[in-house]
Protein backbone atom coordinates (compact mmCIF):
# COMPACT_ATOMS: atom_id res chain seq x y z
CA UNK A 1 0.00 0.00 0.00
CA UNK A 2 2.77 2.42 0.95
CA UNK A 3 6.25 2.18 -0.46
CA UNK A 4 8.95 4.72 0.39
CA UNK A 5 12.30 4.57 -1.32
CA UNK A 6 15.36 6.68 -0.46
CA UNK A 7 13.28 9.48 0.98
CA UNK A 8 15.35 12.49 2.01
CA UNK A 9 14.05 15.62 3.69
CA UNK A 10 16.44 18.39 4.52
CA UNK A 11 16.72 22.12 5.20
CA UNK A 12 19.35 24.15 3.37
CA UNK A 13 20.85 26.95 5.34
CA UNK A 14 23.65 28.85 3.63
CA UNK A 15 26.47 26.32 3.48
CA UNK A 16 24.95 23.69 5.67
CA UNK A 17 22.39 21.07 4.85
CA UNK A 18 20.48 19.69 7.83
CA UNK A 19 18.78 16.38 7.26
CA UNK A 20 15.44 15.79 8.91
CA UNK A 21 14.88 12.50 7.14
CA UNK A 22 17.59 10.56 5.43
CA UNK A 23 17.40 7.49 3.26
CA UNK A 24 14.04 6.29 4.47
CA UNK A 25 12.98 2.98 2.94
CA UNK A 26 9.66 1.77 4.22
CA UNK A 27 6.89 -0.56 3.15
CA UNK A 28 3.49 -0.82 4.78
CA UNK A 29 0.86 -3.28 3.73
CA UNK A 30 -2.86 -2.73 3.86
CA UNK A 31 -4.34 -3.69 7.25
CA UNK A 32 -1.24 -2.91 9.27
CA UNK A 33 -1.34 -0.90 12.51
CA UNK A 34 2.08 0.70 12.74
CA UNK A 35 3.54 2.94 15.44
CA UNK A 36 6.43 5.28 14.67
CA UNK A 37 8.54 5.75 17.78
CA UNK A 38 11.65 7.66 18.67
CA UNK A 39 12.99 10.61 20.64
CA UNK A 40 12.00 14.22 19.99
CA UNK A 41 13.45 15.56 16.78
CA UNK A 42 13.88 12.14 15.24
CA UNK A 43 11.68 13.10 12.28
CA UNK A 44 8.58 11.09 13.24
CA UNK A 45 6.06 13.81 12.49
CA UNK A 46 7.82 14.79 9.28
CA UNK A 47 7.62 11.21 8.11
CA UNK A 48 3.94 11.09 9.00
CA UNK A 49 3.32 14.36 7.13
CA UNK A 50 5.03 12.95 4.07
CA UNK A 51 2.93 9.80 4.33
CA UNK A 52 -0.17 12.01 4.47
CA UNK A 53 0.91 14.22 1.51
CA UNK A 54 1.05 17.19 3.83
CA UNK A 55 4.73 17.66 3.15
CA UNK A 56 6.94 16.78 0.22
CA UNK A 57 10.21 14.93 0.36
CA UNK A 58 13.22 16.59 -1.23
CA UNK A 59 14.22 13.43 -2.98
CA UNK A 60 13.22 9.80 -3.21
CA UNK A 61 10.09 8.00 -4.34
CA UNK A 62 6.76 7.53 -2.63
CA UNK A 63 4.16 5.15 -4.05
CA UNK A 64 0.71 5.14 -2.58
CA UNK A 65 -1.34 2.23 -3.98
CA UNK A 66 1.28 2.19 -6.75
CA UNK A 67 0.56 5.84 -7.52
CA UNK A 68 3.78 7.91 -7.53
CA UNK A 69 2.91 10.58 -4.96
CA UNK A 70 5.98 12.66 -5.80
CA UNK A 71 4.37 13.37 -9.16
CA UNK A 72 0.88 14.24 -7.91
CA UNK A 73 -0.59 17.73 -8.31
CA UNK A 74 -2.12 19.73 -5.42
CA UNK A 75 -5.56 18.84 -6.74
CA UNK A 76 -4.92 15.11 -6.93
CA UNK A 77 -3.50 15.18 -3.43
CA UNK A 78 -6.59 16.81 -2.02
CA UNK A 79 -8.57 14.22 -3.93
CA UNK A 80 -6.72 11.52 -1.94
CA UNK A 81 -7.28 13.47 1.27
CA UNK A 82 -10.96 13.33 0.62
CA UNK A 83 -11.19 9.66 -0.22
CA UNK A 84 -8.29 7.70 1.20
CA UNK A 85 -6.69 9.36 4.19
CA UNK A 86 -7.96 10.42 7.59
CA UNK A 87 -5.95 12.50 10.06
CA UNK A 88 -6.00 12.52 13.84
CA UNK A 89 -3.93 15.11 15.70
CA UNK A 90 -2.46 15.44 19.16
CA UNK A 91 -4.14 18.84 19.58
CA UNK A 92 -7.40 17.45 18.08
CA UNK A 93 -7.56 20.39 15.61
CA UNK A 94 -11.28 20.71 15.53
CA UNK A 95 -12.66 23.92 14.05
CA UNK A 96 -13.63 26.00 17.06
CA UNK A 97 -16.46 27.81 15.32
CA UNK A 98 -18.26 24.60 14.33
CA UNK A 99 -20.29 22.25 16.49
CA UNK A 100 -19.48 18.56 16.96
CA UNK A 101 -21.99 17.69 14.29
CA UNK A 102 -20.64 20.25 11.84
CA UNK A 103 -17.03 19.25 12.45
CA UNK A 104 -17.78 15.65 11.66
CA UNK A 105 -19.83 16.62 8.65
CA UNK A 106 -17.11 18.75 7.10
CA UNK A 107 -15.18 16.08 5.10
CA UNK A 108 -18.47 15.07 3.50
CA UNK A 109 -19.02 18.63 2.37
CA UNK A 110 -15.70 18.61 0.56
CA UNK A 111 -16.67 15.26 -1.00
CA UNK A 112 -19.90 16.86 -2.18
CA UNK A 113 -22.06 14.18 -0.52
CA UNK A 114 -25.76 14.97 -0.82
CA UNK A 115 -27.54 16.49 2.15
CA UNK A 116 -29.83 13.60 3.03
CA UNK A 117 -27.07 11.04 2.66
CA UNK A 118 -24.77 13.23 4.76
CA UNK A 119 -27.27 13.37 7.58
CA UNK A 120 -27.47 9.61 7.65
CA UNK A 121 -23.73 9.16 7.68
CA UNK A 122 -23.12 11.70 10.46
CA UNK A 123 -25.93 10.24 12.52
CA UNK A 124 -24.46 6.78 12.17
CA UNK A 125 -21.00 7.92 13.32
CA UNK A 126 -22.42 9.93 16.21
CA UNK A 127 -24.34 6.88 17.26
CA UNK A 128 -21.31 4.66 17.03
CA UNK A 129 -19.25 7.04 19.18
CA UNK A 130 -22.08 7.61 21.66
CA UNK A 131 -22.05 11.34 21.05
CA UNK A 132 -25.59 11.98 19.86
CA UNK A 133 -26.30 14.06 22.97
CA UNK A 134 -23.26 16.22 22.39
CA UNK A 135 -23.71 16.92 18.72
CA UNK A 136 -24.65 20.58 19.18
CA UNK A 137 -21.81 21.44 21.54
CA UNK A 138 -18.77 23.41 20.49
CA UNK A 139 -15.27 21.89 20.91
CA UNK A 140 -14.39 24.04 23.94
CA UNK A 141 -17.38 22.60 25.75
CA UNK A 142 -15.92 19.08 25.56
CA UNK A 143 -13.19 17.34 27.52
CA UNK A 144 -9.95 16.47 25.74
CA UNK A 145 -10.89 12.84 25.30
CA UNK A 146 -14.26 13.77 23.88
CA UNK A 147 -12.63 16.20 21.51
CA UNK A 148 -10.28 13.50 20.31
CA UNK A 149 -13.24 11.19 19.81
CA UNK A 150 -14.74 13.84 17.54
CA UNK A 151 -11.37 14.06 15.81
CA UNK A 152 -11.37 10.32 15.16
CA UNK A 153 -14.99 10.39 14.11
CA UNK A 154 -14.21 13.13 11.64
CA UNK A 155 -11.26 11.14 10.27
CA UNK A 156 -13.46 8.06 9.91
CA UNK A 157 -16.52 9.45 8.29
CA UNK A 158 -14.94 9.47 4.86
CA UNK A 159 -14.26 5.73 5.12
CA UNK A 160 -10.52 6.21 4.66
CA UNK A 161 -8.17 3.40 3.75
CA UNK A 162 -5.46 4.94 5.92
CA UNK A 163 -5.58 6.77 9.22
CA UNK A 164 -2.57 8.86 10.16
CA UNK A 165 -2.46 9.85 13.83
CA UNK A 166 0.16 12.22 15.23
CA UNK A 167 0.43 11.43 18.95
CA UNK A 168 -3.33 10.98 19.20
CA UNK A 169 -3.18 10.31 22.93
CA UNK A 170 -0.45 12.85 23.77
CA UNK A 171 -2.82 15.24 25.46
CA UNK A 172 -5.03 12.64 27.10
CA UNK A 173 -4.89 10.89 30.43
CA UNK A 174 -4.53 7.13 30.41
CA UNK A 175 -8.21 6.09 30.53
CA UNK A 176 -9.08 8.29 27.60
CA UNK A 177 -5.94 7.19 25.79
CA UNK A 178 -6.87 3.52 26.20
CA UNK A 179 -10.33 4.23 24.88
CA UNK A 180 -8.93 5.84 21.72
CA UNK A 181 -6.45 3.00 21.24
CA UNK A 182 -9.13 0.37 21.56
CA UNK A 183 -11.10 2.25 18.99
CA UNK A 184 -8.10 2.18 16.66
CA UNK A 185 -7.73 -1.51 17.24
CA UNK A 186 -11.34 -2.14 16.30
CA UNK A 187 -10.94 -0.05 13.17
CA UNK A 188 -7.82 -1.93 12.28
CA UNK A 189 -9.70 -5.17 12.67
CA UNK A 190 -12.22 -3.81 10.20
CA UNK A 191 -9.42 -3.39 7.70
CA UNK A 192 -8.31 0.22 8.08
CA UNK A 193 -4.58 0.77 7.89
CA UNK A 194 -3.32 2.91 10.77
CA UNK A 195 -0.03 4.71 11.27
CA UNK A 196 0.47 6.56 14.53
CA UNK A 197 3.33 8.51 16.03
CA UNK A 198 3.72 7.90 19.73
CA UNK A 199 6.19 8.20 22.59
CA UNK A 200 4.55 5.53 24.61
CA UNK A 201 5.43 1.84 24.34
CA UNK A 202 2.07 1.09 25.83
CA UNK A 203 0.24 2.86 23.07
CA UNK A 204 2.51 1.26 20.51
CA UNK A 205 1.62 -2.14 21.90
CA UNK A 206 -1.93 -1.76 20.55
CA UNK A 207 -0.46 -1.99 17.04
CA UNK A 208 1.20 -4.80 15.23
CA UNK A 209 4.33 -3.06 13.94
CA UNK A 210 6.83 -0.62 15.42
CA UNK A 211 9.01 1.67 13.31
CA UNK A 212 11.86 3.09 15.38
CA UNK A 213 13.57 6.27 14.32
CA UNK A 214 16.52 8.35 15.42
CA UNK A 215 18.14 11.40 13.86
CA UNK A 216 16.03 11.14 10.73
CA UNK A 217 16.80 7.52 10.04
CA UNK A 218 15.02 4.22 10.50
CA UNK A 219 16.75 2.04 13.06
CA UNK A 220 16.06 -1.16 11.09
CA UNK A 221 18.19 0.18 8.31
CA UNK A 222 20.90 1.37 10.65
CA UNK A 223 20.89 -1.16 13.47
CA UNK A 224 24.16 0.21 14.89
CA UNK A 225 22.20 3.22 16.18
CA UNK A 226 20.00 0.97 18.27
CA UNK A 227 22.06 1.10 21.37
Partner 1 sequence: MLKNYIKIAFRNLLKHKSYSLINILGLSLGIGSMLLIFLFSINELRYDRFHKNAEQIYQVYKQRVTPNGIQDAMDLWTPMKDELVSTYSGIEKATRIYSGNAWVEVGNETFEEHITYTDHELFEIFSFPLSEGDNAKPLTNESSIVISNEMAKRFFGNENPIGKILTLDFESDYIVSGILEEIPHNSTIQLDLVVLLSSDPNYSEYQNNWGSSFLEIFVQLSPNTNPQDIEVQFPDFIKRIWNEEVAARTNFKLLSLTELHNYSTNSNQIVFILFGIAISIIIIAVINFVNLATARSLERAKEVGIRKTLGATKSQLVKQFLGESVILSLFALALGYVLVETVLPFFNQALNTELSSSIIFTTYNLVPLLLFTFVIGLMAGIFPAFFLSKFKSSETLKGALKNKPGGIFFRKALVITQFGITTFILFGTFVIWNQLQYLKKADLGFEKAGIIVVETGLRDFADPEAAAIRISTFKNDLNNLVSVHNLSSSVSSPGQWNNSFTFAIPQNWSHDQPARVRFTYVDDAFFETYSINFLEGTNFLNTVDSVQFDKVIVNEAAIKNFGWETGLNKTIQLGRDRFADVIGVVDDYNYESLVTEVAPVLHYYRSSENGVHRNLSVKINAADIPSTLGAIQERWETYFPDRELSYSFVDQTFEQLYENQDRLAYVSGSFTIIIVLISCLGLFALTSLLVIQRTKEIGIRKTLGANVISIVRLIGLDFLSLVGLGFLIASPLAWFFMNSWLQDFAYKIDLNLTIILLCGTVLFILTVLSISYHTIKTSLQNPVESLKSE
User: Considering only residues 30, 78, 205, 208, which one is a binding residue for partner 1 as defined by CB under 8 A?
Assistant: 78
List the interface residues with partner 1, window 119-158 (CB under 8 A).
Answer: 154, 158
Pick one of 23, 25, 32, 55: the residue that binds partner 1 (CB under 8 A): 55
Backbone angles phi, psi at 63, to 5 degrees: -110, 125
Smallest separation (angstroms) from partner 1 to the CB of 55: 4
* Number of neighbouring beta carbons within 10 Å of residue 87: 22
Asked if 72 touches partner 1 (CB under 8 A), the answer is no
122: left (phi over 0), alpha (psi -120 to 50) or beta: alpha
Q: Are 227 and 34 in contact (CB under 8 A)?
A: no
Task: Compute the distance between CA of residue 43 and CA of residue 82 in angstroms, rounded to an integer.
Answer: 25
Q: Answer positive or negative: Cα dihedral of 99, 101, 102, 107.
A: positive
Report, in Å, the least distance between residue 78 CB and partner 1: 5
89 near partner 1, judged by CB under 8 A: yes
Give me the residues that bind partner 1 (CB under 8 A), please: 45-46, 49, 52, 54-55, 74-75, 78-79, 81-83, 85, 87, 89, 91, 93-98, 102, 105-107, 109-112, 154, 158
Amino acid sequence: MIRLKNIDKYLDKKFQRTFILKDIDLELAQGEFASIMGPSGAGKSTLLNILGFLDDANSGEYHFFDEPVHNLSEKQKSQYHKSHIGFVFQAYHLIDELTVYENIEMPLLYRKVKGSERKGMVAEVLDRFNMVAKKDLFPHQLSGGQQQLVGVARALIGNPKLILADEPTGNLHSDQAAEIMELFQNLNNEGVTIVQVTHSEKMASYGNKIIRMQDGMLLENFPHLAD
